[in-house]
Structure 1
């Protein structure tokens, strides 16, 4: 082993250690490696930055935009509503429909986004049918992972493997090359989860129907008697001052969630921030979390007049004031913070009034509650603020709206146009008339032309952290090839099982990828293992396609731990799962998927 290879392996070990610890975050680790790898002299800075010009990076970015168009136009939400309506009373039918829907949508959208969208849908289904949500959420994450086995563009590792094939002079995979393997795997997973889900704990949901209403959330989160409307009188010392001077910020026991202001001909409900100036005649909409908070004393001190409220928790003002549930994803800046510390929520003028962790809801002590991945937040504020949040970043995903907010979608009448754009992109990719990246960019431009998405939303939809992770890991592949690390790994695998035939080699490759995927992201796994797979094929004088396909399949088979994939991490909290739940459910499934892959891949792609 050369000294140069030792340097590369040492840097790779440092990167993996940082991935496991989660500090710093993944994209920062990738940028650190871009800086450090050229210092070894094995690659230069231009080669370290070459990923920024990779067509597959642009393709991944374009796919994020296409997926956002489906969300903004309500296509994703309509699928969830259809499931709630047609799921029926059969638990097995519900599970099959859920997994099929997630698998289908995940074939063309980010699986993390799809699973985030379906978490509140599953909670609603559990409430409607009495099925334990914990018995449905893990099947959803399994289907989200398997959706990566459905099409070429379903997940980033597929594109990375395909790019490596083309870099070695092969033609690459077709759009549906992986589908004949993904469909049987999905059906197998549905049958397995129909039985295995019963080993998952979880309480049955309460009976309720359809999409929740504002009143349903008021009951669920116990928000009764927390709402007050306080009119600012002309002699109030607050007139001309900012809300910050009132001392009712996010970290207190009471929060001003919105402000009513009378204009010349109409009354308007405004979002608020710390510097919102109070005027005489304004009406403060106050949420009081603690029963110990003295509202009469507040009114007396600041010359405020208490007004009557006819509905429970501002539901009588549902045309102006709304609620939304949102899920905290893996890479959210809200993780390990409190809602009161969120600049995102403060910027939009939204207040956290409820928290659901697993099947337990919390409505008190939220100002000090540390947020975790998979937590569901109940947000309240003006509808305009909720709409703005729908298009802003990735700190909160899976925004679920009540019945009253059904018309809040950014472009609800553009759903047919969004579906048309998606089908056109798929058709262009299948025809081969233009490169895949060109087809995807054309689809994004059409989404903009049809007003399914605007440019600002398109840029925000791109998951830049994921792209930086890919770009930062790509130089490792080149460095390992130049230092002989790829050949060393291939020789080791061949020495272990090479004499037993192609299928044992493929099985060993699947196992190795799965083990690596336990501790690092599946994207990084694909970057590191795709060159090893192609080197194996070259040493065996065999076709590269089955070996590349095994890497792609293994990258989407991370069922075994809550940190194997972002979708697992998302549902681990929402479903109140333990580490052991993932092992006892995921390990047998991973073994079965590996067996099916080893059986089908050489048959579909002869070596």
Structure 2
């Protein structure tokens, strides 16, 4: 063993120990690896930082933009809603539908791409169903990796072994020859992940923000729970043909109209400039007010309560919400009444709650005087709530989780779907290579307004990108130093005289182990010739060994750096390094058992 080999092995072991310890952020560990490799001289400085320009990293960054376009236009939420409708709030049923979907998608496109596209969908599902993302993200990644085993184009290792057979004058694998084994592993994997494996997944967020409020939390914080009412306007009501301003609903009756439902559509009545928006007979008014104020208001204005159907509330919350703001010390609103503050005119929103020195205050629009340090709960259209950020005179403290679910470019959803469909068709049919296809799709998302440039830049998961880019040069250093060849030669010596089944098991374990630390493509390129030569030496059919190598290369389940797919779900799932080993190693062993059982039956030795 040379000194360079020793350095690389020490760096690999040290990296793994740092990952397992969870004492240092993984992206920082990756940057340390890049720095030490550049200083070591084993690879050139340019090669040490080459991962940041690697096509895989660029492709993943572009896919983040495509995924953000689907999220911002509401396509991701719609897909999540469909899965929630068919799966309900049951974690088991959700996984039962989600895992085959991502596996099927991965069978015909990059598993990395499939996961990048589905992360917004799964996050949306988790929020709406009240589940932690950690319960869904790792199964999503593992199903995508298994999906790559289903077809020839599902993952690069399948193509590598097929081409290796062809280069030796042998019959290459057909498009669906991987399917029986891949499908069996998918079924076994689903049973494991939905059953025992799910118990190994972390249930609580690790380092996440569990205190981020939703609408209900903010409403309870301001003691206005139960103050949202839906009232129907009767024919004899004095409100008919008048605007809320003309009727002095806030100043005279202490009632705030949030929205008007007319003919099944919600019309905002919170912007004073809409003075021509008149309340009509049979309109349904969504209003905030205390029970006493609402009772008096209904009695004096011929209104009846229309109840609180859950469906209507969900529809309401698609258009309207709340936000918490702070009045800073230099606020021009100091000493003014809520009415004089003209919140509708300034911000398009209405004050429905006030806290002073952490105590809830009753709000009188005419008499309550504002003071610096007050926190207010403003209600209105999500569009105007988004516009609060950066506005003078207020400090935006909190917006509810529901705001993340409201698409900011919903009108461009058909364009986003068209771009996605064209991208998938180009990648499946092979009209363009994957990288330019995805780059074109990302650019189209920006140019068509499906996602703004600012939103696109914010969408990129920097932690994942740095981790992937930082670990790629380590694989190159293993090759350049001869460390990889050293390990391979000892494997050949160890397994050279073994029986075909034992040889297959050894190749599977070695390939799977190697793929935890270097790319599955690089692993297959290195191990496939060994499997081919060993088969020729033993006088056995090389097909079962080559199939074993391809399947094993895709079982990168045990570490978050084993595959870009795992790295992508690391941050959204708030996982630790050890979580992957705990859930992934049993799945690897199950895949080993299925492969050793079926491969000799389908491809006899």
For residue 293 of structure 1, the aligned residue among 345, 358, 363 is 358
Change (3 A) 1:6 1:558: closer
What is the CA deviation profile of residues 243-294 of structure 1, one whole-angstrom value per residue up to 9, with x for unaligned ones?
xxxxxxxxxxxxxxxxxxx99958999985796851234369698899x934
What is the aligned partner in structure 2 of residue 430 from structure 1? 428
CA distance in 1 between counterparts of 2:449 and 2:362 reads: 50
What is the aligned partner in structure 1 of residue 143 from structure 2? 146
- Does residue 400 of structure 2 align to residue 380 of structure 1? yes
For residue 125 of structure 2, the aligned residue among 121, 142, 159 is 121
The answer as to whether partners of 1:67 and 1:110 remain within 8 angstroms in 2 is no
Change (3 A) 1:484 1:117: same
SS in 2 for 1:499: coil
For residue 527 of structure 2, the aligned residue among 523, 529, 533 is 533
For residue 470 of structure 1, the aligned residue among 465, 468, 474 is 468
SS in 2 for 1:278: coil
CA distance in 2 between counterparts of 1:289 and 1:535 reads: 71
The answer as to whether partners of 1:487 and 1:535 remain within 8 angstroms in 2 is no
What is the aligned partner in structure 2 of residue 75 from structure 1? 75
- Does residue 94 of structure 2 align to residue 29 of structure 1? no
The structural deviation recorded for 1:594 is: 2.7
SS in 2 for 1:380: coil
- Does residue 98 of structure 2 align to residue 98 of structure 1? yes
Name structure 2 gaps, 5 residues minimum.
Answer: 204-212, 226-269, 276-319, 334-339, 344-349, 537-541
The answer as to whether partners of 1:550 and 1:601 remain within 8 angstroms in 2 is no
Change (3 A) 1:450 1:467: same
The correspondence of residues 230-269 of structure 1 with structure 2, limited to 5 A, is 265=273
The correspondence of residues 343-422 of structure 1 with structure 2, limited to 5 A, is 351=397, 379-380=399-400, 386=403, 399=404, 401=405, 408-422=406-420
The structural deviation recorded for 1:6 is: 0.9
What is the aligned partner in structure 2 of residue 235 from structure 1? none
The correspondence of residues 336-347 of structure 1 with structure 2, limited to 5 A, is none
The correspondence of residues 165-564 of structure 1 with structure 2, limited to 5 A, is 182-193=182-193, 195-196=195-196, 217-218=215-216, 222-223=220-221, 225=223, 265=273, 277-280=330-333, 281-282=340-341, 293-294=358-359, 304=369, 317=380, 351=397, 379-380=399-400, 386=403, 399=404, 401=405, 408-501=406-499, 504-512=502-510, 524=518, 526=520, 529-530=523-524, 532-534=526-528, 536-537=530-531, 540=534, 546=547, 549-556=550-557
SS in 2 for 1:81: helix
SS in 1 for 2:497: helix
The answer as to whether partners of 2:63 and 2:116 remain within 8 angstroms in 1 is no
CA distance in 2 between counterparts of 1:458 and 1:605 reads: 47
The structural deviation recorded for 1:437 is: 1.4
Change (3 A) 1:120 1:289: farther
Change (3 A) 1:48 1:191: closer
What is the aligned partner in structure 2 of residue 255 from structure 1? none
What is the CA deviation profile of residues 498-541 of structure 1, one whole-angstrom value per residue up to 9, with x for unaligned ones?
43356544534544566678xxxx57564884565346346536
Change (3 A) 1:275 1:196: same
- For normalisation by structure 1, the TM-score amounts to 0.58
Change (3 A) 1:114 1:538: same
The structural deviation recorded for 1:11 is: 2.1
The structural deviation recorded for 1:305 is: 5.0
CA distance in 2 between counterparts of 1:273 and 1:153 reads: 55
CA distance in 1 between counterparts of 2:377 and 2:362 reads: 22
CA distance in 1 between counterparts of 2:378 and 2:128 reads: 20
CA distance in 1 between counterparts of 2:477 and 2:510 reads: 20
The structural deviation recorded for 1:441 is: 1.9
The structural deviation recorded for 1:80 is: 1.5
What is the CA deviation profile of residues 128-153 of structure 1, one whole-angstrom value per residue up to 9, with x for unaligned ones?
xxxxx68x974663243211332499
CA distance in 2 between counterparts of 1:581 and 1:445 reads: 34
- For normalisation by structure 2, the TM-score amounts to 0.59
Name whichever of 425-434 and 78-87 sits farther off: 425-434
Change (3 A) 1:138 1:7: same
What is the CA deviation profile of residues 368-403 of structure 1, one whole-angstrom value per residue up to 9, with x for unaligned ones?
xxxxxxxxxxx439x9xx4xxxxxxxxxxxx4x3xx
Name whichever of 497-506 and 53-62 sits farther off: 497-506
Name whichever of 6-15 and 412-421 sits farther off: 412-421
The Cα RMSD (Å) is 5.7
CA distance in 2 between counterparts of 1:82 and 1:20 reads: 37
CA distance in 2 between counterparts of 1:465 and 1:548 reads: 31
CA distance in 1 between counterparts of 2:517 and 2:409 reads: 32
The structural deviation recorded for 1:76 is: 1.8
The structural deviation recorded for 1:416 is: 3.1
The answer as to whether partners of 1:418 and 1:452 remain within 8 angstroms in 2 is yes
CA distance in 1 between counterparts of 2:105 and 2:490 reads: 39
CA distance in 1 between counterparts of 2:385 and 2:555 reads: 43
CA distance in 2 between counterparts of 1:470 and 1:105 reads: 22
CA distance in 2 between counterparts of 1:469 and 1:160 reads: 22
What is the aligned partner in structure 1 of residue 301 from structure 2? none
Name structure 1 gaps, 5 residues minimum.
Answer: 127-132, 204-214, 228-261, 307-312, 324-342, 353-378, 387-398, 402-407
CA distance in 2 between counterparts of 1:100 and 1:314 reads: 43
CA distance in 2 between counterparts of 1:588 and 1:502 reads: 24
Change (3 A) 1:41 1:428: same
The structural deviation recorded for 1:5 is: 0.9
What is the aligned partner in structure 1 of residue 57 from structure 2? 57
What is the CA deviation profile of residues 167-215 of structure 1, one whole-angstrom value per residue up to 9, with x for unaligned ones?
9998999999976655443333334455547968999xxxxxxxxxxx9
The correspondence of residues 549-588 of structure 1 with structure 2, limited to 5 A, is 549-556=550-557, 567=569, 583=582, 588=586
The answer as to whether partners of 1:506 and 1:547 remain within 8 angstroms in 2 is yes
The answer as to whether partners of 1:146 and 1:182 remain within 8 angstroms in 2 is no
Larger Rg belongs to: 2
The answer as to whether partners of 1:42 and 1:482 remain within 8 angstroms in 2 is yes
